Amino acid sequence: MDMLAAERKLRIVDYIRQHRMASILTLAQEFQVHEATIRRDLAELERDGQLKRTHGGAMIEQWTHDEPSFNERTSHNPDQKQRIGQMAASLVKDGDHIIIDSGTTTQHIARNLVHRTDITVVTNDMNVAAELRDAPRVKVILTGGELYPSSYMLNGMFTDEVLRTLHVNKAFIGIPALHPQHGLMHPEAALVPAKQGMIRAANEIIVVADDSKLGKLSLHTVAPNQAIHQLITGAEASQQQLQTFRDSGIIVHAV
């Protein structure tokens, strides 16, 4: 027997909040009703501001208002970040000039480049540089800039000026929010110009983001999804979520 529509709608919202995104087919199977019923429920829920319909399903938009502290980020999803770092490092060819953005995920990229040959790494992160201090055949260039002591990141006018003078093969960008429609997003205006400078400086843009960053919204747009060539995330991300980025023409690696 069909559950009451009001109760079903509450449960649909709970289901999508838990999974962040769901297709009409999945919801119809989950709640044992026709797809037309789910479509009607989703239309009513969207009208009430409870969720946002997508092509073939629905999602609940989560906002990122500030970045957690460096220590919190280091302890969040460490296994996933390690896998992402290994995959990202495997895309670097000997002879490449690359930019590695600041962040806890990007630190794992550096860790996997220590034994590589003839690579130049430009970074605005002292932790990334420190990972490579014993790498005999990797040249490291720090951008300079104002030091953020809590994260060992360099940022500001000096950083932006240096990035304007560079041209590299690849840039590995970390981001706290990656939205299927609005692209790379960030809560802090002061950190946006450096990321945009890295994107401008590179032939190829590779975003590294664990699955908790996908589908998130934030205040400032850094770049549209069209600017991204590849996305490396964790296998924990849902296939439907990944498909929205593939539909933007991005090569997606879920590791």
Model pLDDT for residues 72-110, shown as the tens digit of each residue: 666 577 899 999 999 999 999 999 999 999 999 999 999
Do 196 and 119 lie in a common domain?
yes
Specify the number of domains making up the chain. Answer: 2
Lowest mean pLDDT among 13-27, 137-151, 194-208: 13-27
pLDDT reported for residue 1:
40
> CB under 8 Å to 198, separation ≥6 — which residues?
99, 101, 163, 171, 173
Do 31 and 144 lie in a common domain?
no
pLDDT at 45 over 70: yes
Do 96 and 54 lie in a common domain?
no
What distance in Å separates the CA atoms of residue 10 and residue 14, rounded to the nearest whole number? 6
pLDDT at 241 over 90: no
pLDDT at 191 over 70: yes
Overall average pLDDT of the 62-66 stretch = 74
Q: What predicted TM-score, i.e. pTM, was given to this entire model?
A: 0.80
DSSP, collapsed to helix, strand or coil, labels residue 252 as: strand
Do 98 and 161 lie in a common domain?
yes
